[in-house]
Structure 1
Amino acid sequence: MLLPQLPEDVLYHILAYLDHITLSRFSQVCKAVYTFVNRDNVWKSVAKDFLNTGIRRDGSDLYPNIPLKDRVRTAQNWSNGFCNRGVLIRWRKNLLPWLQMDGDVLFLSQAAEIRAHSVRQNGKRILSQPFQSYSGHHGDVCRFVLNNSYLISSGSDGTIVVHSRRSGSQTKLPGHSQEINCLDSRGELIISGSRDTTVKIWTLTSGSSIDTISMFDRVWSIAIDPSLSSFAVGTACCRTTSPLHIWTIERLECVCTLGSDFRHGAGVLDIVFESPFQLLTCGYDTFIRLWDLRLSTQKCVMEWEDPHDSALYCLQTDGNHMMASGSSYYGVVRLWDKRQSQCLQVYELSSQRPSSPVYCLRFNSSHLFAALATSLHSLDFRQSPGSSS
């Protein structure tokens, strides 16, 4: 019996022992083998060991419409630092922009507006002109999140605006006495945090907050866990000794306070949940930290330090091995492999002085977008620098 004539389950078992190079060479044997080897099921065991292939630790797939073989090829460029850099948009005034992505749409806040840009390829360029904009604040937008068909923004005017992306309607929720530095939303829930030292709980349909929590310190970051059972609050660590607090949603109880060894002012600027029991944080203390929230642990289990001792403004993870962080100086973006203690790749996006922090970054399978004070940058990892599109 020839190898291609073996039952499919036997072939899957055999091919699971091959690495990506051997699989690529084996696919060139004949058309039948090529068709079989290009299946996602063949590449899944290989893809989980690469950076940013979309295969998460829980087995879910972030990019099911992109063949896994292509994602593995692009993942090698992420690891090796092969990319084409570009500046998509520039503006004159210094701003504190924020980013979110939804499929092929990139949302960028600029002053009091949030603009939607298409990131599909148009020839060789990504479209820089917005096709839609959202407004409603009397001051600058501080943060915004996407929740299904809603875009929810908070501003320096102390208000929250809930935008319906379908109907175009908006609902304004006044509540904080000072600027709202952070918010998150999942399901019907909205949680906001402000410089006024309070956290407020809202719903998408409520006209006012349904609960208020005093944190006794400025609130810099908030994240709701994927199971909607708890949320994390990052504070400035100026008036309290611990900057990270975990609260239950049902009872609104603080179940644990983490980071008692932080120095004064080493606040948490960004929080990302990887699971209901694991979250990543970064901030003024110059570290990325992985926290285990299970009752038997409740502590930092891994940490990565910025080699230039820079504050870290933002963070994103692929849910598996890769992290990307944005530094406070010279527009520096760093890629990290959690399996290594040292930074994997570094990109200095700004040569201007004074330097700009990376206020926010987002990535998909092929691109990383970074927002600085006066520009939006793109790193394209689909091919090596100088190669044709």
Structure 2
Amino acid sequence: MFLLQLPEDVLYHIMSYLDYRALSRLSQVCKTIYHFANRDAVWKKIAKEFINTGITRQGKDLYPHIPLKDRVKVSQNWYHGICRKEVMLKWRINLLPWIQLDGDVLYLSQAADIGVYHLRPDRGRLQRSPMALFSGHQEDVCRFAVTDTHLVSGGSDGKILVHHRRNGFSVEYSGHNQEVNCLDCRGGLIVSGSRDRTARIWTLSSNFPRCTIPMNDRVWSVAISPTQSSFVTGTACCENFSPLRIWDVERCELLCCLGSEFRRGAGVLDIVYESPFHLFTCGYDTFIRSWDLRLSPRKCVMEWEEPHDSALYCIQTDGNHMIASGSSYYGVVRTWDKRQTRCLEMFQLSTAVSSPVYCLRFNTSHLYATLATTLHSLDFRQGPRPRRSHPLPQTAVGI
């Protein structure tokens, strides 16, 4: 009983020296230690070293309602690629679908509409019909962003629609001459990029562009900094300048270019801000790159190459150690540990038809990915379904 008589801060200090295996064994000693060893404070240090546990580099917990011990268990499946694959939705025609996650709600664009689906992670599938439907574009939706109050979408018709999530009221922003390839929305600020070779800055309070920036190249991706003082554009790299450029929001001026050794046509298809100082990009040159914006000059500090020389359409990070990427052929999704150069696992979502992974999103237990005609789910809480055992023929019984 001497161990249990120690002050709690001493017990925390002792347990901080244990790894996850030792903690799991210790929790089986008695009920009192079991309840103490299952506290999040005991597992927080361990969770920081595992991939996709919801603990960011800044120590922020993205999923405080899920016990850390359970997330560490599921993290082992992420690391070893143990999951159950499900096809959640199918449609007949080829589309360029985009998705966003908001807790247990998934937003999915199909042609000119955006459906809102309630997730049922216990069953690994969506509800049959959407809870809500946002429409208004005359052509397909290319990109959309979800905030606490609004859904902002850009379409092939060159229009931007701002939908209020609660009452469904929408406002049309008509400011691009060609399709809106990309947009981002953060804190009332909207930045859009188009095939018409311009990037435009908007606000939720006005449907007139605050600023139009000539880009001299098609804009494939944009991302607003968490500080909302700057944004990054990724272009098609068909001209003699870097496809990655950072712009000042207030002055609409170029702050700097990132990189200088991009080959022609190595367009940037996705940009992710992990913090105000760390940026991740991917595109046609088959690389994921990490940029440190605190350095002078700002430069790439790490890169990961797609092994099969495929273009990378989309990426997402967990804010700590993990990256997930979607490739251009056969729906290949890869997971990466930033502390390693080689990918952790590969998941091929399509074998019959070759389709890019147009978008992917994940939380601590599931990864969702969209292909041209399907929406897939990878459930990392459990392994693949066991194969059905076929009974022996009647003639073979007793042999």
Query: In which range does the TM-score fall when normalised by the shorter chain?
Result: over 0.9
Following superposition, the deviation at residue 121 of structure 1 comes to 3.6
Paired residue for 2:46? 46
Matches within 5 A, 1:208-287: 208-287=208-287
SS in 2 for 1:78: helix
Matched-pair contact (CA < 8 Å) for 1:217–1:240: no
SS in 2 for 1:209: strand
Consecutive unaligned residues of structure 2, counting only runs of 5 or more, are: 388-399
Matched-pair contact (CA < 8 Å) for 1:182–1:219: yes
Following superposition, the deviation at residue 123 of structure 1 comes to 4.8
Aligned length: 387
1:163 aligns with 2:163: yes
Paired residue for 1:154? 154
Q: Provide the rounded CA distance (Å) in 1 between the counterparts of 2:25 and 2:228.
A: 46
TM value normalised by structure 2:
0.95
Matched-pair contact (CA < 8 Å) for 2:52–2:364: yes
SS in 2 for 1:207: strand
- 1:244-297 deviation per Cα after TM superposition (whole angstroms, max 9, x unaligned): 001122222211111211110100000000111110000000000001112524
Following superposition, the deviation at residue 365 of structure 1 comes to 0.6
Q: Identify if the C-alpha distance between structure 1 residues 46 and 152 changes in structure 2 by more than 3 Å, giving closer, same or farther.
A: same
Q: Provide the rounded CA distance (Å) in 2 between the counterparts of 1:28 and 1:21.
A: 11
Q: Which amino acid in 1 is paired with 2:14?
A: I
Q: Provide the rounded CA distance (Å) in 1 between the counterparts of 2:70 and 2:120.
A: 17
Matched-pair contact (CA < 8 Å) for 2:86–2:124: no
Matches within 5 A, 1:38-77: 38-77=38-77
SS in 1 for 2:78: helix
1:374 aligns with 2:380: no
Following superposition, the deviation at residue 41 of structure 1 comes to 0.7
Q: Which amino acid in 1 is paired with 2:370?
A: A
Matches within 5 A, 1:91-170: 91-121=91-121, 123=123, 125-170=125-170
Matched-pair contact (CA < 8 Å) for 2:221–2:235: yes
SS in 1 for 2:300: strand
Q: Provide the rounded CA distance (Å) in 1 between the counterparts of 2:294 and 2:68.
A: 33
- 1:69-104 deviation per Cα after TM superposition (whole angstroms, max 9, x unaligned): 000000000001100001000000000000100000
Following superposition, the deviation at residue 127 of structure 1 comes to 2.6
Paired residue for 1:305? 305
**Higher-Rg member (1/2):** 2
Paired residue for 2:23? 23
Paired residue for 2:390? none
Consecutive unaligned residues of structure 1, counting only runs of 5 or more, are: none
SS in 2 for 1:73: helix
Q: Provide the rounded CA distance (Å) in 2 between the counterparts of 1:306 and 1:122.
A: 33
TM value normalised by structure 1:
0.97
Matched-pair contact (CA < 8 Å) for 2:149–2:165: yes
Higher alpha-carbon deviation: 164-173 or 72-81: 164-173
Q: Which amino acid in 2 is paired with 1:378?
A: S
Paired residue for 2:359? 360
- 1:286-336 deviation per Cα after TM superposition (whole angstroms, max 9, x unaligned): 000001112524000000000000000000000100000000001000000
